[in-house]
Structure formats: structure tokens, C-alpha cells
DNA sequence: CCTCCCATGTAATTAGTTACATGATTGC
DNA sequence: GCAATCATGTAACTAATTACATGGGAGG
């Protein structure tokens, strides 16, 4: 149920509408948690009816009206409670690794294109993160010194950067391995 | 629906019972895909009734009888089809990162214990992977040269090792950051 | 005109988690 | 006697995905 908590954190950082949250889940928060707008609207509704969130109708001109959600006191308490209870170190779910092991029973060389595609995507994400880091934390326009919240955002971003760098390097390794084993007959 | 495919790969590598699969999902396959026995039994039943798997009843003495599943021809085809279609590079779901950003609205220092615990778990996983690598691929008892399937298993394991190493290093960074910002009043 | 952006949602389905349930054997 | 391992499952619930649905405004 960490989507609830991710929403609480995001709304504490900045109140906003379901649409805005959905966009954030494609960007900053989305670096370590994903959610679609359908899911977000549903959860917002539930959390609001549970009293964890407040809503305000905001009429707009030239665009549809929107509902701005913000965290109510009980929501803040719920987040604090979650922060104080331990969570399980999560395990990966990595489709591509399943594919790579599965390739032994098919043609490993046929995977090269797919791996190259993933390599491209992760390289782009890395570039994107690095640009954001420069803009928000390490470049000349960034605040200095950073406050606690910014330090925490930065260390999370550094985690994303480390992850993407590691992944790109591993995909290089995978490609080298696929080329090395070359075209082989699938195993029985 | 990658659980289906993970099961197909695992059963191609070695036929086995639901129980055995559940154990593998705590070990080798579990490094990059998780599943509980309940889920596995349900999916096995579905895949068998869809004709993707064959079952054989194996009576045993001194232990409960078991059902040994193996991949049928249509299952092999289904796996091959999946291997040839592109998948989305997956995004992370990282609870701890949510917690770290959330700590800005609570007491960051209270997270130190939790982060240390995660650090311990990931260090242990790293050790465990390295032991397995030595046993199966790089140590004196390992086969040489490796065949294509073993090469692919090894490169996936190297990915797990790289992931754990990266994570441990990042958690060091997180701990240093938490210590640096020290005890602070939560933000508005 | 067409597409993208803003903004909201419902409905149906699939996947995953948690709790409950049984029962023999092996080792301490 | 008690806990762990082997072996199988059902039931209830929660979470996530996919498809469908609407409608105005802005920009090329």
C-alpha cells in the first residue's frame, strides 16, 4: 500500500490535482514508484473519504476545473506511523532477466536488438537524471546550502543515477555475452 | 504476466513440482522475480489446463506424493513468442526511497536504524550471490568452458551482484546524508 | 482539420497478498 | 513433545492494468 504513502509524500511536498500527481509519477516520484492516472484518481478518492486528504475545487478559465488535494492531519499521522514501522527490503522484478535466461531455449542472438533498446532507454534516463541533478542540486542555479528536504531528495536522485549507471554497465556486459556465445542451437 | 514465463523458463531448466518451484523462487529465479506458493499453484493449474504444461503424478515414500510439471510443446511456443516481442524497460518500485523523501516531514534520524537494516540485508544478499558465483561459475569446481545456458545464467547473476553492490554503496551514501543533516525539526 | 494538453472518471479483468487449512516425516 | 521440511491447496481481499469514455482549448 505504498502508493498511498507516495501520494502523501508528494502532496506534502506540494499540493495538487490528480492530473498533476499523475504527471509527477511520470517524473520525480516516478523514478522509484509508478502509477497511472486511473489508479491515482481511485486512491485519492478513497483517501479523501477516509479523511486523510482535503480537497478544494479550483475553477479555472480556459481549462477544465480541477480538484486540489492536500494532506490533512490524519494523513500526516498515517505517514508518520508508516515511516516508523519497518518494511521488507524489496526484491526485484526484472522481466529482462527472465528473458535472458529463457533465451537459452531459443535463439540468444535474437535478444540483441531488445537488449540494445533497453540500453538506449536506460542511457536516456541516466542523462535525464543527471540534467535534473545539475539543475536542482549541483549546478550554479541550485540553492546552497540545501535544506534537509532537498538533501533527502538529492540522495534519492543519486540512487536513481547509481541504478541507471549500474544498469547500463550491466547491459553492456549482457551484450558482450550474447555476442560471445554467438548463434547457437537452442538447448533441449 | 511474466510469472508464467518465469515458470516456463524454470521448468525448462529443470522440471519440478509446485513446491520445488516455490523454493526456486526463494533462490535463483527469485533473484529477479518473486512469487509465493499460493500464486504458483494457481498459475500451474491454469497453465496445465491451458495445455502449456504436462503433469505427472509421482508417488513417494516417506513424503507426500507430488506432481511433476514439465513444459509441453505449446508452452515452449508461448515462451518463444514472448521472447520475440519487445517488453517495456521496467521502472522501479522502491519503498525505501519513498520513506527517505517522506522523512523530511518527520524525523530523518529515526530512519537510520531502518536504513542500517536494509544495508545488512543487501550485504548478505551480495555475499550469498558471490558464494553462488564461485560455486557455479568461477570457482575450481565449476564447469569450463560454460555452455550457452550457463553463460546466460552467469550474466544474470552478475546483474544481481552489480545491483546489490550498487545498493549497498547507495545505502552508505544515504546513511552519511542522514548523519550529515542530523536531528532537524520536521518541515511544514 | 488534427493532434496534443488539460482534467476527470468508470468498468472489467488480471495479478498479487494474506490468512486459513491439512497431514506425514525427520531431527532435536 | 516441538519445530522444521515436504507437499498441496482454498478463500478473501487488495492492488494494478487495460480498455473505454468525455470534452474544451491551443497550436500547427
Of B86, B165, B173, nearest to A114 by CB-CB distance is B86
Of A148, A166, A174, nearest to B155 by CB-CB distance is A174
Peptide bond into B75 cis (omega under 30): no
- CA B51 – CA B73 distance, rounded (Å): 9
Under DSSP, the state recorded for B145 is: S
Q: Indicate which of A72, A82, A104 best probes the interface with B, i.e. most B CBs within 10 Å of its own CB.
A: A104
Nearest to A33 by CA among B57, B48, B96, B18: B96
pLDDT digit string, tens, across residues A85-108: 999 888 788 999 999 999 999 999
Which residue in chain A has the smallest CA separation from B152? Answer: A101
What tens-digit pLDDT sequence spans chain B (188 residues)? 789 999 999 999 999 999 999 999 998 888 889 999 999 999 999 999 999 999 999 998 888 899 999 999 999 999 999 999 999 888 788 999 999 999 999 999 999 999 999 999 999 999 999 999 999 999 999 998 999 999 999 999 999 999 999 999 999 999 999 999 977 656 65
Number of H helices, E strands in chain A: 7, 2
Q: What are A23's three cell numbers?
A: 504527471
- CA B93 – CA A92 distance, rounded (Å): 9
Q: How distant is the Cα of B58 from the closest Cα of chain A, in angstroms? A: 23
Residue A180 has pLDDT above 90, yes or no: yes
* pTM recorded for the entire structure: 0.94
Amino acid at each position: 500500500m505504498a502508493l498511498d504513502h507516495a501520494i502523501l509524500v508528494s502532496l506534502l511536498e506540494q499540493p495538487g490535482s490528480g492530473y498533476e500527481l499523475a504527471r509527477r509519477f511520470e517524473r520525480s516520484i516516478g523514478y522509484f514508484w509508478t502509477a497511472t492516472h486511473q489508479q491515482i484518481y481511485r486512491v485519492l478518492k478513497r483517501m479523501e473519504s477516509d479523511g486523510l486528504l482535503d480537497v478544494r475545487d479550483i475553477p479555472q478559465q480556459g481549462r477544465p476545473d480541477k480538484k486540489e488535494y492536500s494532506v490533512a492531519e490524519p494523513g500526516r499521522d498515517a505517514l508518520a506511523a508508516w515511516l516508523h514501522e519497518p518494511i521488507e527490503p524489496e526484491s526485484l522484478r526484472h522481466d529482462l532477466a527472465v528473458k535472458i535466461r529463457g533465451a537459452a531455449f531459443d535463439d540468444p542472438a535474437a535478444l540483441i536488438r531488445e537488449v540494445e533498446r533497453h540500453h538506449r532507454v536506460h542511457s536516456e534516463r541516466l542523462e535525464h537524471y543527471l540534467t535534473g541533478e545539475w539543475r536542482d542540486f549541483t549546478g550554479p542555479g541550485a540553492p546552497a546550502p540545501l535544506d534537509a528536504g532537498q538533501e533527502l531528495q538529492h540522495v534519492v536522485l543519486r540512487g536513481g543515477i547509481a541504478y541507471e549507471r549500474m544498469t547500463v554497465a550491466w547491459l553492456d556486459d549482457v551484450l558482450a555475452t550474447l555476442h560471445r556465445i554467438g548463434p547457437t542451437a537452442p538447448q533441449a
